[in-house]
Amino acid sequence: MVNSRAVVKYYLYKATEAVEFYRPIMYLYFLSQGLSFTHIVIIEALYNVTTVVGEVPTGYVGDRIGRRKSLLVGAALITATLVGIALASSFVAFALLFICWSLGYNFRSGTEDAWVYETLADTDDTKAFTRVRGRGQSVALTAGVGASLVGGYLGGIDLSLPFLAAALFTGLGMVVIVTLDEPRTYEESDSSEMSIREALDVVASAVGQRKLRSFILYYFVLFSAITYLVFIFLQPVFEDVLTDLDPGVTLVVPLPAIDAYTLSIGAGNVETLLGGYYAAISLVSAAVTYRIGAIRERVGLRGWFVVVPLIVGALLVSMAVVPAMAFVALFVGWAVVEPTRVLAGQYVNDRVETLGRATVLSAMAMVSALTVIPFQLGSGVLSDLVSPLYALTIAGGLLIVGSLAILAWESPIPESSADAAGTEPTD
């Protein structure tokens, strides 16, 4: 039977993630501080380089010091970084802060899923992972609906305010983390005594599994990289397409010397509109994620992972023909990220052992971060030379071609009745 007390605490923790406060205005804020698209992708690349360097070590630390302490360190780093971003005003400052930001999420990335899975393992109910993890993410996304609206409003006043609001809520999450219990499954394992050599052996063994190799390439490399570009360029593409559709819009290009700028659309402005847009994405994503267990039983893991990347790729490519399709492509491209992440978490967790679990999950994130760096740099240069919309269109084509090539080579999800039914066996 699921530990309902622990699950409720997990849901409270997820409600404090608060990323939606700054997400609607994040890149507009960077542009207003004088950064170019090339600057933005460089600091994003630094974020991912730090992830590459730091994921396995922080996952190893999470295995050694425990899940709760690792989550607490991550939350503290993220909180401090958000305050720093709100006060920063130079490319160098943002670059350093993004390194700290990445380290904060490094401590979270593998540890959160490990804590959930092992807490469920305490009651021999790991099959509930998709449901519990999905509903936890749904709680975060639902809280994000209101946060997006508030963040968009605060951004209209001052683009730094949403970061301060997010820091406040992330800090509240630290209070919740302190009340979490360590899973007995973790405490009874030898993770706290695992050597670095043993950790690397565990990672090599997991990544080398035939059942995981093509999935890692398909999800952690290709799909994650392309959807990350959607995240980076959603705001400028949204703004550009909106401006092109309404010739009466007056756009003042943000410069460091200008305290504020506006882009009026009727009675509103771009920050408020983006806040509503992100709120709608969060609402749909929350609804899908909440029901992800039932969706998994109906369509199967293989059905989801084969169809969704091709749909996202096709929608991104369609923007080259009909620019207004960007509103649909960006919406779908970002709305499916969290449900897909939950399903990927179940698939991977079912195929790794408790010993070194956080290290293995962090290694997967490291692979994803390493791969996205060339995508980021290339798309940043293309965006400055042509446009962000053109860069995303090229990315959509790569997603389609890459997905079909991997499917032709080796199916990322085995064709088995267990996988289709959502009850795959644990190795």
Indicate whether 37 belongs to any domain: yes
* Nearest in space to 42 (alpha carbons), one of 221, 232, 219, 222: 232
E strand or H helix that includes residue 264: strand 264-265
Under a CB-based contact definition with an 8 Å cutoff, are residues 45 and 376 in contact?
yes
Indicate if the pLDDT at residue 263 is higher than 70: no
Mean pLDDT of the chain: 80
Indicate whether 195 belongs to any domain: no
121-125, 191-195, 250-254: segment of lowest average pLDDT? 250-254
**What tokens were used for 259?**
């305290």
Indicate whether 187 belongs to any domain: no
Indicate whether 188 belongs to any domain: no
**What tokens were used for 301?**
């893991």
**What tokens were used for 251?**
């756009």
Range of the domain at 154: 4-181+204-421
Under a CB-based contact definition with an 8 Å cutoff, are residues 295 and 304 in contact?
yes
Number of domains present in the structure of the chain: 1
Query: What average pLDDT does the segment 176-190 reach?
Result: 80
Query: What average pLDDT does the segment 35-53 reach?
Result: 84
Q: Which of 11-20, 115-124, 323-332 has the highest mean pLDDT?
A: 323-332
Indicate whether 89 belongs to any domain: yes
| DSSP secondary structure letters along 116-184 | HHHHHHTTT-GGGHHHHHHHHHHHHHHHHHHHHHHHHHHHHH-TTHHHHHHHHHHHHHHHHHHTPPPPH
Q: How does residue 207 score in pLDDT terms, banded at 50, 70 and 90?
A: low
- pLDDT for res 325: 93
> What CATH number corresponds to the domain at position 259?
1.20.1250.20
CA distances for 123 relative to 144, 185, 250, angstroms: 31, 9, 59
Dihedral sign from CA coordinates of 212, 304, 228, 138:
negative
**What tokens were used for 416?**
């088995």
Indicate whether 286 belongs to any domain: yes
Indicate whether 300 belongs to any domain: yes
**What tokens were used for 171?**
């800090």
- How confident is the model over 311-338, as pLDDT tens digits? 999 999 999 999 999 999 999 999 999 8
Indicate whether 191 belongs to any domain: no
Indicate if the pLDDT at residue 58 is higher than 60: yes
107-111, 214-218, 244-248, 375-379: segment of lowest average pLDDT? 244-248
- pLDDT for res 353: 66
**How much of the chain, in percent, has pLDDT values that exceed 70?**
81
Given the structure tokens 């053109």, which residue do they identify? 390
- pLDDT for res 350: 78
**What tokens were used for 34?**
């004088």
- pLDDT for res 89: 87
CB atoms within 10 A of CB 178: 11
Indicate if the pLDDT at residue 309 is higher than 90: yes
